[in-house]
Amino acid sequence: AARALARGSTGVEVPHYGIPEAESVGAALREGLARIDRMHEREQQFAVNASHELRSPITALALRVEGLGLHPSLPDDARAEVAELRRGLDRLSTAVVEVLESARDERDAGAQAVDAAPLLAEAVDRLGSRRVRRRVELAAPGGVLVDVPAEALTEVVAALLDDCVGTGRGTVRVELAHRGTHVEVVVSDEGPARGAPDLVHPDSAPLHLAAAVTTAESFGGRLMVADAHTHRYRLLLPRSEVTTRHDA
């Protein structure tokens, strides 16, 4: 198993060991490999999550393996196997980093500079009949370019609008601004803040927004609840390296 792992293969059977400490590591490794296989299938869509869900367990396992190698009662042959397993984990960790970087490069290559304003207008239009519940205002100057997939950004903003229309109060606003290093989209309503000011993660987001948060992270965006008296979502987007049209 250690040799296969050293070659970068995760589809291996990890044997059971008679030494309790070694069996504990083996069980954790089996669980980690299964988790890696599941994450590999979703790597393209959830590359940001994979960075945490893959690298953290591997790091934890490496520490446990290192501690096991220092156990005084460990036989020499088992100690050699542990050392090889440690080298395999190092190689696997390197492979994970390369996979994530490759996914990020592919994602960036697929993103083109798009004008954000029409996408926000499209997100407002998708409210359809729900728009009658609230007054919806859009303040989005044209020519603000972002390097994100157009449909994905529209879906994320539409989800935030749907949340504010469905659970917020008063006027719903969508605002777009170029901040120099990034582009910011603010979606807000006049109701009290829903949740403490913080970065929103997929595992902490409301169920109906979890997919939107994951999508935003997949193209390099960050969603947070602003520190304000009323509810405000701040969506930070990677600006395009192309000069914004209104600055040209």
Structure confidence by residue, pLDDT tens digits, 176-188: 999 888 899 999 9
Alpha carbons 133 and 172: distance in angstroms, whole number:
10
Q: Which two tokens stand for residue 246?
A: 């209104």
Q: At residue 26, does pLDDT exceed 50? A: yes
Instruction: Measure Cα distances from 234 to 19, 24, 114, 237 in Å.
Output: 52, 44, 19, 10
What is residue 77's predicted lDDT score, i.e. its pLDDT? 84
Structure tokens at 51: 């960075």
**Given a cut of 70, is residue 247 above it in pLDDT?**
no
Tell me how far apart the alpha carbons of residues 5 and 65 are, in angstroms, rounded to a whole number.
14
DSSP the chain: -HHHHHTT----PPPP-SSHHHHHHHHHHHHHHHHHHHHHHTTTTSHHHHHHHHHHHHHHHHHHHHHHHT-TT--HHHHHHHHHHHHHHHHHHHHHHHHHHHHHHHHHHH--EEEHHHHHHHHHHTTGGGGGGS-EEEE--TT-EEES-HHHHHHHHHHHHHHHHHH--S-EEEEEEE-SSEEEEEEEEEEEPSS-SEE--TTTS-HHHHHHHHHHHHTT-EEEE-SSSEEEEEEEEEBPSSPPTTT-
Position with higher pLDDT, 159 vs 101 = 159
Confidence of residue 200 (pLDDT cuts 50, 70, 90): confident
**pLDDT value at position 185?**
97
| pLDDT score at 103 | 59
Q: List the beta bridge partners of residue 87.
A: none
**Mean pLDDT for the stretch of residues 209-236:** 89
> What topology is assigned to 113-238 in CATH?
Heat Shock Protein 90 (3.30.565)
Tokens 């902490």 -> residue = 204
Give the C-alpha separation, 154 to 215, whole Å. Answer: 11
| Tens digits of residue pLDDT in 90-120 | 888 777 777 666 655 655 555 578 899 999 9
Look at residue 81 in the predicted model and tell me its pLDDT: 86
- The larger pLDDT score, comparing residue 32 to residue 192, is at 192
112 vs 247, more confident:
112
Whole-number average pLDDT of the chain: 78
Residue 107: the pLDDT is: 54
Predicted local confidence at residue 246, as pLDDT: 44
CA distance linking residue 218 with residue 45, whole number of Å:
7
With a cut of 60, say whether residue 197 has pLDDT above it.
yes
Q: What is the pLDDT of residue 49?
A: 54
